[in-house]
């Protein structure tokens, strides 16, 4: 037989403090009266916690409420946003994008660091030297952006990278297909004292963003399919991101599907789902339907945040990603039904495999191609999926867009920082 434990005074204080801090984070500055009404705590308890949180440097006066008369009851209290600073980093094959934010997640500065040469392989001539320079330039840009934002140091940095991230160790499994500088950059960031560095697969970060601020808000179960240069998935079940035993949940680029000339193998996904819906495949499909595919169109403008995807196929021109995004958007605008319907069927084939195994109830089409297709492409995928799967599944267009990786990184860094500073889970 077990008996219920009564919370100790210190535990009760910690719970109340965290409750108040979460409300201030969610709603912005509040009066003591607001906090009493929202928490149900007594006047003395709220007064004590506000005094305690002010001493800790987490809460400060933030003006007065216009709805109340001047005086103690009108005084607003808010989080001290610069109590800690965060950063999100998106590592791509051809460079790095980063954002510096305050404790509330508000963006303070951004930077993009392009690789001087196309993503060198580990053993390519000049590759390691170019990679070392990129690592150095990235760290310098991060520190400069933080300094311009008034951050003396960064409390937590969350990094999104392609590849498998071991859930137990946090190590990046670089199989040799990714540039060596990816691993070197992580080592350089982790070598900086006083900063916690969190590594996560970039599609998982995009899934976090869609779950918290995007198309999957309010859902406890959904799967994000990332459609860009590469193809991947992020799975949330019972409100939790699922990574798998080795961090490989969502490696759907390797999924065997009809319509390819062979089968994928453990080292490359060229004959898997990747080969049917990646940016290169979308450009090929568009050309076959007589749609103009301008490889140069949108290059640079379209290759924005989060543009890598989970897997890469050798030999695919990186410029095809913005071209694929542009041609899908143009197809929606001009009503290119045959092209959109065949693309939707290809996506639905991969989505059906996820649905009949996991039954997420909702699939979000993310990445640049998913965003470009919008509700038009999502609706077509849902109609095909209804025919392929016996399980009712809603298909939505992602709303976090190409910036979903960085958005998810900032959310992840903020969660970690607040757990340490606020206490609790």
21-58 pLDDT tens trace:
999 999 999 999 999 999 999 999 999 999 999 999 99
User: 55-88: per-residue pLDDT in tens?
Assistant: 999 999 998 876 655 666 689 999 999 999 999 9
- Distance from chain centroid for Cα 105: 13
**Residue given tokens 């305690």 in the structure block:** 52
Cα first-last separation, the chain: 27
**Tokens read off for 279:** 């940016």
Q: Is 305 a residue whose pLDDT tops 50?
A: no
Helix, strand or coil, per DSSP, at residue 149: coil
DSSP strands (E only) in 144-246: 156-161, 164-165, 172-173, 196-201, 222-227, 231-237, 240-242
pLDDT at residue 3, as a whole number: 45
pLDDT at residue 410, as a whole number: 97
Q: Is 10 a residue whose pLDDT tops 70?
A: yes
**Tokens read off for 98:** 């980063």
The Cα 305–Cα 90 span in angstroms is 7
User: 243-291: per-residue pLDDT in tens?
Assistant: 999 999 999 999 999 988 888 888 888 889 999 999 999 999 999 999 9
Instruction: Express as a percent the part of the chain with pLDDT over 90.
Output: 69
Alpha-carbon distances of 368 from 92, 285, 298, 301, 373, rounded to whole Å: 14, 17, 12, 11, 9
83-86: list long-range contacts, CB under 8 Å, 24+ apart: 83/57, 83/58, 83/421, 84/155, 84/156, 84/417, 84/421, 85/146, 85/149, 85/151, 85/153, 85/154, 85/155, 86/154, 86/155, 86/156, 86/157, 86/158, 86/410, 86/413, 86/414, 86/417
Residue 316 pLDDT level (bands cut at 50, 70, 90) = very low
The Cα 33–Cα 74 span in angstroms is 8
Q: Is 209 exposed, middle or buried (0-12, 13-18, 19+ CB in 10 A)?
A: buried
Q: How many CA atoms lie within 13 A of 59 on its CB side?
A: 28
The Cα 125–Cα 119 span in angstroms is 12
Q: Is 121 a residue whose pLDDT tops 50?
A: no
Q: 423: which DSSP letter?
A: -
pLDDT at residue 295, as a whole number: 63
User: Which residue in 183, 87, 113, 84 sits closest to 406, CA to CA?
Assistant: 87
Enter the pTM of the model: 0.87
């Amino acid at each position: 037989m077990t008996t219920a434990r009564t919370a100790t005074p210190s535990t009760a204080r910690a719970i109340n403090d965290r409750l108040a801090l979460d409300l201030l984070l969610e709603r912005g500055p509040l009066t003591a009266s607001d906090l009493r009404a929202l928490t149900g705590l007594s006047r003395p308890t709220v007064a004590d916690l506000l005094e305690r949180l002010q001493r800790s440097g987490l809460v400060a006066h933030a003006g007065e409420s216009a709805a109340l008369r001047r005086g103690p009851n009108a005084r607003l209290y808010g989080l001290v946003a610069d109590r800690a600073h965060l950063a999100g980093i998106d590592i791509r094959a051809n460079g790095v994008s980063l954002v510096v934010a305050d404790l509330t997640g508000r963006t303070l500065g951004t930077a993009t660091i392009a690789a001087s040469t196309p993503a060198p392989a580990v053993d390519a001539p000049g590759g390691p030297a170019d990679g070392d320079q990129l690592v150095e330039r990235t760290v310098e840009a991060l520190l400069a952006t933080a300094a311009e934002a008034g951050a003396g140091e960064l409390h937590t940095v969350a990094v999104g990278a392609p590849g498998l991230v071991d859930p137990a160790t946090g190590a990046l499994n670089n199989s040799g297909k990714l540039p060596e500088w990816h691993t070197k950059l992580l080592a350089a960031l982790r070598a900086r004292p006083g900063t916690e560095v969190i590594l996560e697969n970039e599609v998982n970060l995009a899934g976090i963003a869609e779950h918290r601020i995007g198309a999957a808000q309010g859902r406890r179960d959904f799967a994000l399919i990332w459609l860009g240069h590469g193809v991947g998935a992020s799975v949330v079940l019972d409100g939790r991101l699922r990574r798998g035993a080795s961090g490989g949940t969502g490696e759907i680029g390797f999924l065997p599907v009809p319509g390819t000339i062979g089968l994928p193998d453990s080292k490359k996904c060229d004959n898997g789902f990747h080969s049917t819906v990646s940016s290169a495949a979308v450009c090929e499909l568009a050309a076959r339907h007589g749609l103009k595919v301008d490889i140069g169109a949108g290059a640079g403008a379209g290759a924005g945040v989060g543009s890598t995807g989970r897997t890469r196929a050798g030999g695919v021109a990186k410029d095809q990603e913005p071209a694929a995004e542009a041609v899908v958007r143009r197809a929606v605008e001009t009503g290119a039904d045959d092209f959109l319907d065949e693309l939707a069927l290809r996506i639905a084939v991969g989505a059906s495999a996820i649905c009949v195994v996991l039954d997420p109830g909702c699939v979000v089409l993310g990445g640049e191609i998913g965003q470009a297709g919008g509700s038009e492409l999502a609706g077509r995928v849902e109609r095909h999926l209804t025919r392929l799967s016996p399980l009712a599944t809603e298909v939505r267009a992602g709303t976090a867009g190409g910036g979903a990786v960085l958005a998810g990184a900032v959310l992840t860094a903020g969660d970690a920082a607040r757990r340490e500073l606020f206490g609790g889970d």
